[in-house]
Structure 1
Amino acid sequence: MANSVIVIGLGRFGTSIAHTLFQLGYDVLGIDTDEKVVQDNLGHITYSVQADATNEDTLRELGARNFDAAVVAVGSDMQSSLMSSVLLSTIGVPLIIARAENELHGTTLEKIGVHKIIYPEQESGEELAHSLFNENVIEYMDLTLDYGISKIKVPDHLIGNTLKDIGADEGLYFTALGLQGGTTTDKGIAMIAIKRGKGMLLAPDQEEELQKGDILIVGAKDKQLEKFRLSASEN
């Protein structure tokens, strides 16, 4: 079953998160008080509703407690941001991420139980969407509409394995994951490099053994990257 996420506040930042998550295959409920904004998002996410996310009854009626995560992407309205975050915590949403406008806002959000604080000037909506359910994702950069590059920290359970062991073929594509297609960019997950300490192994050998602290730099279509990240994170 796909992970499900509530995104509260469908401004530029919230819309970027919501649309990217939906494109990656997640179930997304977008909430905003502006009817036009809600209408503009219909068809781009799973559900888009006009509602007041500072009302506990409303959040419960929308089934907030059944979602895996919530992103409070409200902008300058600090009171609404704090209220929504408190209610989501009270309802029992397991993972709450909230946008902060400044350090004081961020500190307050932490004190009321928000698990991760996002400062838009430091992390984009797309970057957050790509790392939301995977703490090993250090950075994401989009190259085209649906193709990007990710830096992924090698999880402990893969240390000691070779690239071949985790599915890389001789051309350094992770086709063993069943993600290959017909064109060059559709072959699978392209292994670009391994960052090791201060050095960089470009186009590493298939038999290269992964070490603690290694960072894989891989490129592929967004949905393929998401499958790879989830696969690499599984114990």
Structure 2
Amino acid sequence: MAKKQVAVIGLGRFGSSVARTLYQIGHDVLAIDNNDKAVQSLVGQVTYPVKADATDEAALREMGVSNFDVAVVAIGGDLQSSLLTTVLLKRLGVPYLIARAQNELHGATLEKLGADNVVYPEGDMGVQVAHSLGYKNVLDYTVVGQNYGVVKLKLPDRYVGMTLEEAGLSLQSKSSIAALLVKRGNDVILMPDRFERIQEGDIFVVAGKDEQLEKLQATSV
């Protein structure tokens, strides 16, 4: 997994979840909010927790945001700040920008301002966004319970030709992760057999413990 530098702006429930999860899976995270309590709550859980006004272009420049790979605008209730921050980040040349939207109109406006990906987060969506961003071959991630999740991903070429049992992804192998579904072109294989061989282009839906899913995701780069 290539380490990314990610700036997360707005540290409410969604932003904090994105920031913590990205840091846990090995990325450098600059977490920004103008609320000191929100910033302090992430001390030790992100790389750089900073109290700052993200609508201040000079402050963003001083923090070196233009050098980051990705920015996540997770500002919640303040639409004006959300839109202005998006404009400033695009002006500073951030290559990839994810923005949180409150509704369809807000989302459409963010897209027109240059957001590359607009999300409408609820609940554990922050964890899902972080995993999808953190690993390039991870297409989706869903929290299903404490310490358990479901991930949709492509496996690297070295798995091609292996059986699911050999890859440690068989339901019958009693491992802590298992493939529930394989999408192969236009075909879908539900509950695949342990002797099913992995083919190039296969997309897997895998369930299991977060710790094991993260190890699998880390190989999928």
- TM-score in same-fold range (> 0.5): yes
| Change in CA separation of 1:80 and 1:122 when aligned onto 2, cut-off 3 Å | same
The corresponding residue for 1:178 is none
The corresponding residue for 2:29 is 28
2:168 to 157, 173, 178: 173
The corresponding residue for 1:161 is 160
Cα deviation per residue 1:24-71 (whole Å; 9 max; x = unaligned)?
Answer: 111111101111111111111111111000011100101101211000
Matched, 1:83 2:80: no
Task: Tell me how far 1:220 sits from its aligned partner.
Answer: 5.4
Q: Following superposition of structure 1 onto structure 2, how do residues 124-163 of structure 1 map, counting pairs within 5 Å?
A: 124-134=125-135, 136-142=137-143, 146-152=147-153, 154=154, 158=157, 161-163=160-162
The corresponding residue for 1:218 is 206
The corresponding residue for 1:177 is none
Letter in 2 for 1:96: L
Task: Tell me how far 1:2 sits from its aligned partner.
Answer: 2.1
Task: Tell me how far 1:108 sits from its aligned partner.
Answer: 1.0
How many residue pairs match? The answer is: 215
Any conservation in 2 of the 1:173–1:191 contact (CA below 8 Å)?
Answer: no
Unaligned runs of 5+ in 1: 175-183
Matched, 1:194 2:178: no
Any conservation in 2 of the 1:162–1:207 contact (CA below 8 Å)?
Answer: no
The corresponding residue for 2:193 is 204
The corresponding residue for 1:8 is 9
Task: Tell me how far 1:122 sits from its aligned partner.
Answer: 9.1
Query: Could you tell me how far apart the structure 1 residues matched to 2:94 and 2:188 are?
Result: 41
Any conservation in 2 of the 1:24–1:223 contact (CA below 8 Å)?
Answer: no
The corresponding residue for 2:111 is 110
Query: Could you tell me how far apart the structure 2 residues matched to 1:110 and 1:52 are?
Result: 22
Unaligned runs of 5+ in 2: 170-174
